A and B are shown apart, each in its own frame.
Chain A
Amino acid sequence: MEAVWEVLCRIGGVRLGQGELAAHPFRAASVATMRFAFPLLSAIATLLALTGGASAAEPVRDGEPRTGSNFLLPFDNSRFDATKIGGTFRIFDDTSKGINPLLDNDANVHDLHRAINDPLAMRPYWNPEKWMGVLAESVQVSDDWKVWTFTIRPGVLWQRPTIATKPEFTWLDKDVPLTSGDFKFALDTILNPGVDCPQIRNYYQDLEAVETPDERTLVLKWKKTMYASIETSLDIDPLPRHIYGSNKDGTAIPAERFAQAFNKHWFDELRGAVGVGQFRLESYIPDQIARFVQYPKAWSRTRHADAIEWRLDVKKPEAELVGFKNGQASVLSMTPLQYKSEILDGKEPRFAPFKEDDPKSGRSGELGWEKVRRHGYYYIGWNLRRPLFAELKTRIALHLAFPTKRIIREVFHGLGREVQSEIPEESLYYNKTLKPYVFDPKQAKALLAEAGWADSDGDGLLDRKIDGKKIDFSFTVRYYANSPEYDNTLLIYKNELRKIGIELKPEPKEWKDLTRVYEDHDFDAMVGGWRTDWNIDFYQIWHSSQADVPGGSNHYGFKNPRVDQLAEKLRDTFPMAERAAIAQEIQAIIFEQQPILHIRSAEGVIAWQNRPAPGAAPSPWRWLGGITDNFDKLHPLENGKPVYTYLKP
C-alpha cells in the first residue's frame, strides 16, 4: 500500500512540472508531507487534464534525456529485499596498479570505485538506454544543452575510512555530508593541467565552468552543444574533498601545490578509498584480498551480500576454475575452452548440460551457467598506410578468406556472433542492410587476381609490383601474447591464406609492447578489441584526425571525408531518428571500405554457485538468484524475444 501511495505521489509531482518542485521533488519530502500534499496535487492534475492543459504534452521522468524538465528516472531499489541480506559474495580479480579513481586508468580501479561510490546518474542495467538519478535527484538542461543544473540528494554521507580509527587520523573520524562541492572538486581536479589524468580530462575539455550556488546545487556549463555531454554530465562520481584536499595531518593542501600532492597522495599510498555507496573498502592487500563490507550509514541498499571479497591471489584461469568448483568464488567468468570442456563436453556433471533449444538450460545444475553478451567486438585491423592493404579488393579478399563461422564454432565454441559493425545488431543505430561476406577462398583468389596479385616467380606466394618494386604478399599480425584463442584464430587464418598464396606471420606481443605497437602504428595488421558503450560515437576510432595524433584510436589510418563529416555531425545531433540515420550511413561506408575484419562480438559464460560453499551455513536463498532473474533484463532491446542465438557447438 505504501508503494502505491508513493507512486501516486510521484505522478502528482511530475505533472505539476514546476521548477521549484522539480528541484525539490516529492521523494525527498517526508511521507507525512506527501500524504498531506497528495489530495491537493491530485486535484490540480485532474483539473489540468480536464481542461486539456499541458498534461498530455508534459514530459514524464522516463529516463530519456531532454531539455526543459527533469527526465531522470527516480532511483529504483525495489528489487532489494531486506530479509535476504547475508553471506559473502566472492569473485576472483586482479590487483590494480593503483587505487586513485582519476589517476589510475585501470578496469579494476573502476570496478573498485563502482563498488564503493555512486555517480550522479546511471544507466539502469534493466534498461541501459535510459538514465536513472542516483546522487542527483533531478536535473534541468537548458534548451541549447549547454547548461546542466543538478540537485544533489540530501542526507548522503561520505564513508569514514578504516584508517580513521588510528590516532593520527582522528580528524577523519566524523560523518561528512556529500555536497555539490565534492563534484566541483572532482571536476576541478580533472581539469587541473598538473593532475596526471589526461585521458579523463580529454572528455571534459569543453567544460567551461562548474558552479555551486548552494550545497545541493551543481551547475555545469559547456562551451558548445555536444551529444557526448549527456554521458559526461550525468556519469560523474564525487571525489572526497575533505580527504584529497587535505594533507596527512588534516590541514588543507595549498592550491599551488595541489596537483603535485594529488599525483602522489598520501591516501592512495595507504591504499585507501572511500565513497558514498553501499559498501566500504575494509582492506586491500595486493595479490591477496580486497574486502568490502556493507556500510551501515549508506543512503541506499541495492545488493544483498553482507560483504564482497575479491580474491587477488588466484591468477590463472585453470586455477580459478578449480577454485570456483571448490566453492572459493560465487561466480566465475569462463574461458571458451573451459566452456567447451566443462559444459559442452559435459566433463563437469555439476553443470547442467547444454541444450540447443533452451538458452536457460544452464540454470538448473548444482553449478549454474549462462551465456552473456558483452558490449564489444574483436577484429583484425589492416594498416592502411602500408601499400599491401591500400587496395579495396585486396581487403575484401582477405575478408572472404576468413572462415568466421568456423572460428566462432571451433575456437570460441559458439561464444560470439558474426558482426559487420561495432553497433550491436539489436540497436536502433545498427545498419541492417550490411550483408556479411561468406567464406569463399575461390572468390578471394579471383579478387586478388583482379587486384593484380599473381605468383610471378613460382614460389607459391602472390606478388605484385607496387611503385616499381615487387612485393610479396606476406605480412605479420601482432596481437596479445597470452590469448590461446587468438593464437588459434590466427593459426586457422594463416592456413586458409596459405592456400590462396598469402603468408601470414603471427607475432605475439606482451601487453606493454602491444600498446606501443598500436600507438606507433608499428604493424602490418593487428588483432584488437573494443569495448563499446551506449554512447554511440564514431569520432574516436574513425575520424581522420585520430589517425595521426599520438595515442589516437584510429590505429588503422582510416581516412574518409564523408565519415569525418558524419562523425562530427553525430556529435551535435540529438534527435534519435537523425542520429540513427547518420550512424547507419557511417557503418555502410566503413563496411564498404573494410578497414578492419570483424572476428566476432564479445560474448562470455558466467557460472555461479547454486548451493552454499562447503562448510558454510546453507543460505535461506539461492546465491545470485537475483542475478539470474535479471539475466532476462540484461538485453532489453530484444523486447521479449529469445535472448540468445546459439551456434551449433
Chain B
Amino acid sequence: MTEPVSPAGQALGRFWEDAYARWAVRVVAVFILLAVYAPFLASDVALIWIDDTGWRFPALADLVNQWNHPKYHDLLFNVTAVLLPPLWLAGFALRRWWSTRTRWLAGAGVVVATWLLAMAPVLPGINGGEARSLWRKYPSAGATVSDVVDRRAALEEWNKTPATERGERPDPPPSFALFPPISHRHDLTYAGGVLLAPGTVNPVTGQRFWLGTDTVGHDVAARMLSGARISLTVGMLATSLALVIGLIVGAIAGTCGGFIDLILSRIIEIMMCFPTFILVLVVVAALGRDLYVIMAVIGLTSWAGTARLMRGEFLALSVRDHTLAAVALGVPRWRIIVVHLLPNALTPLLITASFGVAGAVGAEAGLSFLGLGDPAAASWGSLLEQGRTQIHYAWLIWVPGLAVFLLVALLNLIGNALREAFDVRSR
C-alpha cells in the first residue's frame, strides 16, 4: 500500500513529468552551482600552493577576505560553497530520520547561522583593540598568478647577478600551484588586456582569457561568474521582498474587506498604473546606484501584482467552509489568516515567485544596460552595456546576452510548468 500523496505533492509530480521543466530546473541548478563556486572557478588566487614553507589553500582563506568579497551576498555564496558538500553528506546520512523538508530547513539554517557568525565581531582584536569578525579585510594572500610570474622573474634576476653583488635570495616560485581554470579575478583590470578576443593569452601571466576581455581589461569569463551571483541575488531578494509585501497587503485586503479593502485595492491599482521600470529608474537615480538599493527598489515596485493575486485568493478562501467553521468557533482573525488561509494561498505565490525572479533578473540587467547599475558590481547588464557601445566586439553582446536570455527563459519555463501543474483545470 502506497503512502497517500498530498495535492501539492501530486502537483510537483506532474511538474517533474514535464521534460522541459526538468531540464530547466537542471540548467538553473548549474547556474546556481557556478555562482556558488565562482571563487574556485575564476580567481587569480591558487587553490593549492606548495612552496618551501609547505602546503597552503589560499583560495579557501580568500573566501572571507572582505577586499575580494566585499558584499554580503558574496559572503553568503562563499559560506554556501564551503558548507554545501558536508551538508549534502549530512542530509544524505539523515535521510531515514529527517524528512526532506526538515533537512532543507536545517541546511538553510546552518548556512544562514554560519553567515551571520562570520560577520559577527567574535574574534579578539590585535593588541587589545576592537573585536574582529572572521569576514574582514586581510592583507593579500600572496599566492596569485602574478606572484608566480614575479617570483620567477626576481629569482632569474638574482641568479644573473654576480654573487658578490647579490642581495638576499628572493622567495622562489612555488614547487606546485594549482589555479582555477579561469585564472583571472573579475574585479582586476589586466595590463595589455583591453578588448582582447576570446581565447587570447594574457601578455603578462600567460593565462587565457577564455571569453575575451572588456573595454578596460577585465576578464569577461570571470565577470560572467560574478554576474551570475548578482543576477541570482537580485532575483531572489527583490522577489522575496515583493512577495512579502504583496502577501501582507493582499491578505489584509482580502480578509478584512470593507473600507480597508477599498483603500488597499486603490493603492494596488495606483501602483499598477506606474510603469514599474520607469519608477525604478527614477528611484535609483535619486537614491544612488548601490546593488542593494537596486534590489530593494525592484522589490518595492513590483509587489502590486502579487497583492492583487493574494487578495483574490484570500477573498475566495475566506468563504470556504473550513474558514467559516473557524470563524464560527471564535478563532482569532490572525490565526485564521496564518493557519487556515495562508497555506492554501501559497501555491499561486510559488508560481508568481518564479516569474518574479525572471523579471527581477531582467530588470537589473536592464538597469545596468542603461548605465544605472551599481558601478562596483560586475553584472551581466553592465557587460551588455559595454557591448551596446562597442558593437564590433561581439563577445561583449553574445556572452552576457545569452546568459540573461537563458536564465530568464528557463525561469519562465519553470514558472509556466508550475502553473500548469498546480492548475486544477489542466488536469
Q: Which residues does A use to contact B, with CB under 8 Å? A: 317-318, 337, 340-341, 345, 347, 403, 406, 410-411, 455-461, 482, 484, 487-488, 491-492, 495, 498-499, 501, 506, 508
| Residues on B with beta carbons closer than 8 Å to the beta carbon of A495 | 187-189
| Residues on A with beta carbons closer than 8 Å to the beta carbon of B129 | 457
Minimum Cβ distance to chain A for residue B120 (Å): 17
Docked complex: B125-141 residues within 8 A CB-CB of A: 125-126, 129, 136-140
Asked whether A410 lies within 8 Å of B390 as measured between CB atoms, the reply is no
| Residues on A with beta carbons closer than 8 Å to the beta carbon of B192 | 410
Asked whether A406 lies within 8 Å of B137 as measured between CB atoms, the reply is no
Asked whether B216 lies within 8 Å of A345 as measured between CB atoms, the reply is no
A460-B189 contact given A337-B215, A345-B195, CB 8 Å threshold: no
Asked whether B375 lies within 8 Å of A341 as measured between CB atoms, the reply is no
Asked whether B388 lies within 8 Å of A345 as measured between CB atoms, the reply is no
Minimum Cβ distance to chain B for residue A517 (Å): 15
A488-B389 contact given A457-B126, A459-B137, CB 8 Å threshold: no
Interface string of B364-392 (1 = CB under 8 A from A): 00000001000100000000000011111
Asked whether A460 lies within 8 Å of B139 as measured between CB atoms, the reply is yes
A346: nearest residue on chain B (CB-CB)?
Answer: B392
Docked complex: B104-151 residues within 8 A CB-CB of A: 125-126, 129, 136-140
Cross-chain contact of B67 among A456, A457, A498 (Cβ < 8 A): A498
Asked whether B375 lies within 8 Å of A506 as measured between CB atoms, the reply is yes
Q: Is B194 an interface residue (CB 8 A)?
A: yes
A221 to B192, CA, bound (A): 59
A461-B137 contact given A488-B189, A488-B215, A491-B189, CB 8 Å threshold: yes
A406-B191 contact given A458-B138, A459-B138, A508-B375, CB 8 Å threshold: yes
Asked whether B216 lies within 8 Å of A459 as measured between CB atoms, the reply is no
A383 to B403, CA, bound (A): 43
Q: Is B393 an interface residue (CB 8 A)?
A: yes
Minimum Cβ distance to chain B for residue A335 (Å): 9
A492 to B129, CA, bound (A): 33
Asked whether A460 lies within 8 Å of B188 as measured between CB atoms, the reply is no
Docked complex: B57-115 residues within 8 A CB-CB of A: 67
Docked complex: B179-194 residues within 8 A CB-CB of A: 187-189, 191-192, 194
User: In this complex, which of B125, B388, B393 has the most chain A Cβ atoms within 10 angstroms of its Cβ?
Assistant: B393
A341-B137 contact given A318-B388, A457-B129, A460-B67, CB 8 Å threshold: no
Minimum Cβ distance to chain B for residue A406 (Å): 6
A457 to B125, CA, bound (A): 8
Asked whether B389 lies within 8 Å of A337 as measured between CB atoms, the reply is yes
Asked whether B217 lies within 8 Å of A460 as measured between CB atoms, the reply is no
A490 to B295, CA, bound (A): 26
A4 to B386, CA, bound (A): 59
A456 to B126, CA, bound (A): 9
Minimum Cβ distance to chain B for residue A1 (Å): 55
A501: nearest residue on chain B (CB-CB)?
Answer: B139
Cross-chain contact of B216 among A482, A488, A498 (Cβ < 8 A): A488
Q: How many A-B residue pairs have CB under 8 A?
A: 63
A579 to B392, CA, bound (A): 50
A410-B194 contact given A460-B140, A488-B189, CB 8 Å threshold: yes
A411-B216 contact given A458-B126, A460-B138, A461-B137, CB 8 Å threshold: yes
Asked whether A345 lies within 8 Å of B392 as measured between CB atoms, the reply is yes
A341-B392 contact given A457-B126, A460-B139, A508-B375, CB 8 Å threshold: yes
Minimum Cβ distance to chain B for residue A536 (Å): 35
Minimum Cβ distance to chain A for residue B408 (Å): 25
A525 to B407, CA, bound (A): 40
| Residues on B with beta carbons closer than 8 Å to the beta carbon of A491 | 189, 216
Asked whether A341 lies within 8 Å of B390 as measured between CB atoms, the reply is yes
| Residues on B with beta carbons closer than 8 Å to the beta carbon of A508 | 375
A-B contacts, 8 listed (Cβ < 8 Å): A341-B195, A341-B390, A347-B392, A411-B216, A455-B139, A459-B137, A484-B215, A492-B216
| Residues on B with beta carbons closer than 8 Å to the beta carbon of A482 | 371
Minimum Cβ distance to chain A for residue B59 (Å): 17
B218: nearest residue on chain A (CB-CB)?
Answer: A491
Asked whether B189 lies within 8 Å of A492 as measured between CB atoms, the reply is yes
Q: Sorted from nearest, which 3 A-B pairs have the closest CB atoms?
A: A460-B139, A488-B216, A459-B137
B130: nearest residue on chain A (CB-CB)?
Answer: A457
A508 to B285, CA, bound (A): 12
A495 to B392, CA, bound (A): 27
| Residues on A with beta carbons closer than 8 Å to the beta carbon of B67 | 460, 498
A341 to B126, CA, bound (A): 51
User: In this complex, which of B129, B136, B216, B393 has the most chain A Cβ atoms within 10 angstroms of its Cβ?
Assistant: B216
Docked complex: B141-191 residues within 8 A CB-CB of A: 187-189, 191
User: In this complex, which of A455, A459, A492 has the most chain B Cβ atoms within 10 angstroms of its Cβ?
Assistant: A459
Asked whether B388 lies within 8 Å of A458 as measured between CB atoms, the reply is no
A340 to B217, CA, bound (A): 14
Asked whether B136 lies within 8 Å of A459 as measured between CB atoms, the reply is yes
Minimum Cβ distance to chain B for residue A410 (Å): 5
| Residues on B with beta carbons closer than 8 Å to the beta carbon of A458 | 126, 138-139
| Residues on A with beta carbons closer than 8 Å to the beta carbon of B140 | 460, 499
A340 to B392, CA, bound (A): 11
| Residues on B with beta carbons closer than 8 Å to the beta carbon of A317 | 389
| Residues on A with beta carbons closer than 8 Å to the beta carbon of B191 | 403, 406, 410
A406 to B194, CA, bound (A): 11
| Residues on B with beta carbons closer than 8 Å to the beta carbon of A499 | 140
| Residues on B with beta carbons closer than 8 Å to the beta carbon of A341 | 195, 390, 392-393
Asked whether B139 lies within 8 Å of A410 as measured between CB atoms, the reply is no
| Residues on A with beta carbons closer than 8 Å to the beta carbon of B393 | 341
A340: nearest residue on chain B (CB-CB)?
Answer: B195
A317 to B388, CA, bound (A): 12
B289: nearest residue on chain A (CB-CB)?
Answer: A508
A340 to B388, CA, bound (A): 15
| Residues on B with beta carbons closer than 8 Å to the beta carbon of A403 | 191
| Residues on A with beta carbons closer than 8 Å to the beta carbon of B188 | 495
A439 to B137, CA, bound (A): 26
A506: nearest residue on chain B (CB-CB)?
Answer: B375
Further 9 A-B residue pairs, CB within 8 A, beyond A317-B389, A406-B191 = A340-B195, A341-B390, A410-B191, A411-B216, A459-B137, A459-B138, A487-B216, A495-B188, A506-B375
A15 to B274, CA, bound (A): 78
Minimum Cβ distance to chain A for residue B358 (Å): 29
A345 to B390, CA, bound (A): 12
| Residues on A with beta carbons closer than 8 Å to the beta carbon of B187 | 495
